[in-house]
Each structure stands twice: as C-alpha cells, then as structure tokens.
Structure 1
Amino acid sequence: MAPYESAKDTSEAADLRAGRRKAARYAVPIAVAGVAAATIGLVPALATSGDPDLPKVTAQELIEKIAASDTQQLSGNVKISTDLGLPSFGGMAGGFGGGGGADRGDDDGDEKGSAADPKSKLMELASGTHTLRVAADGPDKQKVSVLGDASEYSLIHNGDDVWAYDSASNEAYHAKDEGASPEKGENHGAVPKGELPSTPKEFAEQALKAVDGTTSVKVDGTAQVAGRDAYRLVIKPKQAGSTVGQITVAVDEKTGTPLKFTLTPASGGAAVVDAGFTKVDFGKPSASTFDFTPPKGTKVTEADEQSRDFKGKDGKKFDEGDLNEPKVIGKGWSSIAELKLPGGQGLPTAGSGDVPQDAQKLLDSLGDQVDGKFGSGTVFSTRLINALVTDDGTVYVGAVTKDALVKAANEAH
C-alpha cells in the first residue's frame, strides 16, 4: 500500500498552523479529569482493520477536514492504553496527596478527600488499559464513564453542574461549573486545564498544536476504525533529541472526527498512548444520559467544602502558586521547561518525613543520578516525558532525552 500524496508538508507550515488553530476551535468538549501532563501498548482490541479505497487527500486537506468537523454530538466506547514504563498508579493515588483519603481542608487536617474526586480518581488512566463509555451533546452536556470489572466511575457535565460518582465506594463529588459563559458556546471549565485528554479528538488537538516547521506531516494510507473508513495522518518530529517517534491519527472520512490516536516513542516498542473508538455513533444521545441523582445513602462532597490546598507533614499548606512560571528553553519538539521548586532546594525524601513511602518507592525506581556544570541531580525517566531535578531545586522537563536535559542544565549555568 503506497502512501498518499504528502504535498504541502512542512513547506507550508503557516497553512498547517492555521488549520490546527481551526481544529482547536472545533474540539468536541468531552469532559474528563485525569493526570498532570507530565504523567501521560497497543492492544488487539484497538487494532485497525482493512485498507478502504478512499479518494486521495493531502495533509493540508485532511487537517482542514478535522478543522471543519464541528462534531458536537456522539456516543460510544473508547479504549485507552498508556505505557509510560511506570508502575500502576491504582493504589498510589492517596500517597500523592489526592483524594481517596488524603488530608485536605481545614487547619486540623482531619477532613478527608472524596474518593470520587476526579483529580485523584482518574490518575489511574496514566497506566494500563481502560475502557471508557463517552457521550456528548454540545458544550453543555458530556459524560465519561470508566468501566471496571465490577464497578463504574462516571464524570457528568450537565449545564452548570459537574458530578462525579464512584460506585465502588458509593461516593459522589459535586461542583458548579463556573467557566466560560454559555453565550459564547465555550467549554465551561468542567475539566481543569492541563489534564489528560480522554478521546482521540482531544489527543489529536494537542498533537496538532505542535505542527510547525519542526514537523513532518503526511497522509499515509487508510484504515478502518470502529467500522468506519478513515485516513491515517502521520505527524513526526524533524528535530533530534525528542522522545516522540511519531503520532498517527485515524480521521473519519465522513465527519473529519479523529477516531484513533497512537503515539509511539522514538525508542520503539509498544505505543506510549493508544486511544481509539471501538464503537461510535454520531447521533444525538438521549437527554437522560446526562441526568444524575446521587443514589440513596451516597456520601456527597461539595467542591467548595473541600480545600484545594494540600498540607505536608509539617502542617504547612502547599500552594500551586509556589511553583513559578516555567522558562522555555528551545522550541518545537525539543523544547524544555525550566522552573524552580519552592524553597530553592531539591526533592525531599522519605527519611525527612516529607514524602509518603509509596511515592518514594516510585521516585527511587525512576531516578538516575547525574552530574554536570549545574552540580548534581536526578533524572526521572519515562518512555515519553523525562525530568531532571537538580539539588538546588531547578527542574528541567520535556519530551526529550536524558542527554538533552543535561545539556540544557549545563548551558543554563
């Protein structure tokens, strides 16, 4: 099967950037909270089948097709596999200060976080394979359910209300959506910024933001996903030092909606992220899909009752504002963010009583000691995102190799 025409590759980067800006504007607002971006195989159920005979298109035309897809209504099942090379986060959420029993709230530290709090509950999507049931009806109604063997976790956005319900613990979490105004037809902030996407569309929108002169983009054949004919858009970094090998997006031939997203690392092997529909329907979901009333006996936690501040063992609260705005070193796929840890010192240790034991085990399993002009530090490596934390509290992080991080740290001193 010969690749399709790849005209208008990176020589017309301006047009590509215009296309992906349009694509971002028309993103399907599937609401799901997940894990921080720094913590984001391929399984048979996700494999594409068949090579449908479709009219040839260029990369520019396919990006414009995504941009023009204004898909606002859909329902179906999505299977997501993530393989960063990390241990499972399933039993560690509480150890990182999230919900599920982490201390939060009042100054006495007695209040416990809700087991249904999305900020910690969906951290498990950072590893393993998960099946999601999704539905959307415009910017005001979305639902995502993570299906377990004998339980289900659902996040529902319906108008001004955001509900999360964990059937395993019979706990619910409720918040008011105080985001963008409905007059503008925008996503109302039901999902905190910087959280993990949950559908191929959302993953694709993130990838398209990187399309510029540092990127190779082409259409490479066709595929069939969830019973629908699709084009394969392949995005590759042209810069050295990136941990990203390539990104493949299967784009629905009829609607222009991304049906499948696969990110493979430069090191080879299984995909780091593979998200694809196994079943999809572009009809209007039933209005009852987005209705939710806590079952009798459910413990309900209101968002305004649960402080977002976390406390350390010394009783001091950790404020996200303590982390300064990062400085970006380089550009494109090899860009690195540099920031300072609070207090101007390196990572605390379990011996100091500042780090939960589970978290320390994770850090120890990933850490690699390095030295340079910057002094000494530890590189924490995954198959995609790597971070260097120096002993003086400087952090260098990006989808780049360990050598690229050390070089950036040396050049900064």
Structure 2
Amino acid sequence: MAPYEPEQNTSETGELRAGRRKAARYVVPVAVAGVAAATIGLVPALATSGDPKLPDVTAQELIEKIAASDTEQLSGTVKISTDLGLPSFGGDMAGGLAQGGGSGGDDGGDGAGSAADPQAKLMELATGTHTLRVAADGPDKQKLSVIDDAAEYSLIHNGDDVWAYDSKSNEVHHSKSAGKAGDSGKKDAPEDLPKDVPSTPKELADEALKAVDDTTSVKVDGTAQVAGRDAYRLVIKPKQSGSTVGQITVAVDARTGTPLKFTLSPSGGGSAVVDAGFTKVDFAKPEASTFDFTPPKGAKVTEGDDAKKFKGEASEGKEFKGKEFKGGEDLNGLNVIGKGWNSIAELELPGGQGIPTGGSGDVPPEAQQLLDSLGDKVSGDFGSGTVFKTRLVNALITEDGKVYAGAVTKDALVKAANAAS
C-alpha cells in the first residue's frame, strides 16, 4: 500500500485498483509505453575492466563491423539496470500498462488473464535491476529467462511455438507464430510476443544506430573488456542541446562485432538511464534442449487466442467509463516537429480532451493523486496542461487533448506547444 493511502476495505481496494489501471491507460501511451519499448529495445552495461590494446578503427569501420556481424548463436548472462524515474511496474501496474488494466501480474485471483503473459511481464524490465539468462540459435530459437530471488520467468521461442512460464504462479502462456515469412525471411512473430524485444544480438545495436544522422556525433573512444572479451567503445552523442540524452556508449566485441554492453547516460547527469550488458557470454551453439519446453504438471495454461478474447471482454467492462486508448488506432493527426534527437511527436488524444481529473467523476481521488505525482502543471500560449516526466522521455498533455512527446526537456515541449498554438 502506498504511503498516502488510508486503510481500505475490499471494495475500496478494488476501486483504487480500477482507478490506477484507468490512469495508466491515459498516461502510458504517451509517456511510458514508448519509454519501455525504447529501453528494452536498446538492450545490451556492466562493470568493465582493463584497456586492451587493439588495432585502431574509425567509427565508420566499427559501425560497419556491427552491421556485418552474423552472430546468431550465443548463450550468456545479462544484467540490466533501468532508472527512468518511474514507479515499479510490478503486479497490477504492469498488467494495467501492458494490457489496459485487464490482466497480468499477481492480481489476487480476480479472474484476470495469465500471469505469464509476456506483454505484462517484460514491462517489468523497464524499472529496477534484473538478471537475465539468454540463449539464441538463429531467428527461430531464442530463450530469455528473468531470474528473481525465489522465482524465474522464461520466454522460449522454438519454431512456431512461443512459450512463457512464470514459476511463481505456475502459469504458462502459449502462442503460435503466423507461419509465414516476412520481408526479412523470418516467420512472423505471434501478436502476443512484444515486438520491441529484439530476437538477436545484432538487433540491439541496430536500435541505437537508427539515431545516427547529421545531428549526431559518433566516435570510437578507447577500448574495454566486457565479460572477459576485448571490445571497442563506440560513443554516440547528440550535437543539439535540449535532448534528455547525454550519450550512448556501446561496447562492441572486437572479434565478432557483437554488442556486449550498452549504456545510456542522461544529459542531466546522475546514474545511467539504461545500463545493461553481458557478465558471461559464449558464442558456441547452445544445446538443442535449451529451447525445449513442456508445461509442468498442474500448471495453468493460457492460449494466446484465449488471452486476446479476455482482453476484448475486459475493455468493455463497466469499471471503465471513458474511452479506452487503443494504440495506433487512436493516434490522431500524428506529426513530427523538429529533427534528430530533438524530434517531438505531436498528436491528439481520442475525444479531444486531456487527462481526466477527479472533478470529472472519471477518476477516483487516489488515482488522481497518482497522476498528479507523475506530472508537473505548465501553461503558455497553448493554454495549460501537464508534463509527465521520466529521465528519458517527457510528454506534455494539454487540457484540449494535444500531446507533445519526445526525448527532450520540459522547456522544449512547452516551446513546441506554444509554436503550434
């Protein structure tokens, strides 16, 4: 229970949970979901040691080495620490963010969907420190296990099957791929599998390198040793002021070109926003049995189609009176302002209104307190609104339903809103 919450009976607790879920629906599409996707998608930082003597390379040569890397087989341990300045995404909040508050997480047995659903579980990587075991053998076989003190969560992709198992709840989530190859030659991933989780190490570097353009400084800044392997340090920095990104550092394996370490440092200083990388790594082919999975005896198994049916029913529930955010379908008039690291997405929320308030009757007082704690009230030529903050992505939501979001400072968002008014 949060410090500001009074004791509540069962009914009040249920209302508070519903209010938090509803609040999450409004905030997440513009301030949180994109952050989680970006940070998870940019994975692989960890302690390095030594400055190995390696042949000199230019930044262009190192980028080309990453692009040419054909590493598709490996196994190892990754430690990831993420500090976005957000509350924990465990339990109810994780389920609410990932699925509109309908399922996931430890919900006290209220009939929600599978606790093993990847959409909810992998959102937890957006906050805190986690230890992961990873393995890959080409585009059709990957395994990721999140290790906790007393439990383990595993996501296994083997051919047409994707299994997710949560040992704490003894629940299994199963889905099938579409069975057809896309432009890349890989089979389409199932809808239930988060699209922003890379399936091969090469994809990790690809995400960071998408930002490299004429607004970016890129250089090789010495060498390091990560997980016992010699590596080059590639440093990527915005040339522009106003970005919340200070720099990105990628440690690139000198032999294979595989990214071993990723660190995203904020322009405001302090600890890294994302600090993730291998502590152990082996580029040998993993045993085939690594990707085998059979549901344990007594485990509750949820099929992907059943989960999607549940989500549809949940979105029509009586507890949510307002219009539910439906992702891309509801991004009205999406426009990009600016260039490079200072790009700001401008769009309109459905219904032409901003975040609901306690006075509207749509949000319980406790949920309104949660919303207020996450945002700063601002005003300008555009009127008034609220800036929802993380250490990486900020979003301004005006009272008339306009949204301005990007990896930029609060002042940059207010300036963009004023210019557009």
* TM-score, structure 1 normalization: 0.83
- Aligned match of 1:330: 338
The question of whether the paired residues in 2 share the 8 Å contact of 1:385 and 1:400 is answered with yes
Aligned pair partner of 1:403 in 384, 406, 411: 411
* Partner AA of 1:38 in structure 2: V
Matched position secondary structure for 1:124 = helix
- Cα deviations by residue, 1:327-364 (Å, 9 ceiling, x for unpaired): 11111000000111111101124565645777645422
CA shift in 2, pair 1:391/1:192, >3 Å: farther
Q: Which residue of 2 aligns with 1:284?
A: 285
Q: Deviations over 1:80-126 (max 9, x none)?
A: 0001112222234256264698369xxxxx85221111111121111
Answering whether residue 113 of structure 2 is matched by residue 113 of structure 1, we say yes
Between the aligned partners of 1:292 and 1:353, the Cα distance in structure 2 is 48
Match runs of 1:350-369 below 5 Å: 352=360, 354-355=362-363, 360-369=368-377
Gaps of 5+ in 2: 1-31, 40-44, 105-109
Q: Secondary structure at the match of 1:370?
A: strand
Farther off after superposition, 115-124 or 231-240:
115-124
Tell me the distance in 1 between the aligned counterparts of 2:60 and 2:98.
Answer: 42
Q: C-alpha root-mean-square deviation of aligned residues, in Å?
A: 2.6
Aligned residues: 370
> How far apart in 1 are the matches of 2:86 and 2:199?
19
> Which residue is equivalent to 2:307?
306
Distance 1:358 1:156, change over 3 A: farther
Unaligned residue ranges in structure 1 (runs of 5+): 1-34, 105-109
| Counterpart residue number, 2:139 | 139
Change (3 A) 1:342 1:379: same
Deviations 1:44-72 (A, max 9, x none): x8211000000000000000100111111
| Structure 1 equivalent of residue 62 of structure 2 | 62
Partner of 1:38: 35
Shift of 1:371: 0.6
- Report the CA distance shift for 1:375/1:273 in structure 2 as closer, same or farther (over 3 A): same
> Which amino acid is 1:364 matched to?
D
Q: Could you tell me how far 1:159 is from its partner in structure 2?
A: 0.7
Give the direction of change, closer, same or farther, for the CA distance of 1:206–1:182 in structure 2 (3 Å limit): closer
**Contact 1:37/1:196, CA 8 A, preserved across alignment:** no
- Are the aligned partners of 1:379 and 1:389 in contact in 2 as well (CA < 8 Å)? yes
CA contact (8 A) 1:339 1:395 kept: yes
* Structure 2 CA distance for partners of 1:180 and 1:70, relative to 1, 3 Å: farther
CA distance, structure 2, for counterparts of residue 319 and residue 291 of structure 1? 35
Give 1:325 deviation, angstroms: 5.5
Give the Cα–Cα distance (whole angstroms) in 2 for the partners of residues 173 and 375 of structure 1: 46
Change (3 A) 1:284 1:194: closer
What amino acid maps onto 2:33 in structure 1?
Answer: A
* Cα 1:189/1:95, change in 2 over 3 Å: closer
Q: Percent identity?
A: 73
* Whole-angstrom distance in 2 between the partners of 1:390 and 1:160: 44
Secondary structure at 2:64 match in 1? helix
Matched with 1:247 is 248
Q: How does 1:150-165 map to 2 (within 5 A)?
A: 150-165=150-165
Q: Which residue of 2 aligns with 1:186?
A: 186
Match for residue 390 of structure 1? Answer: 398
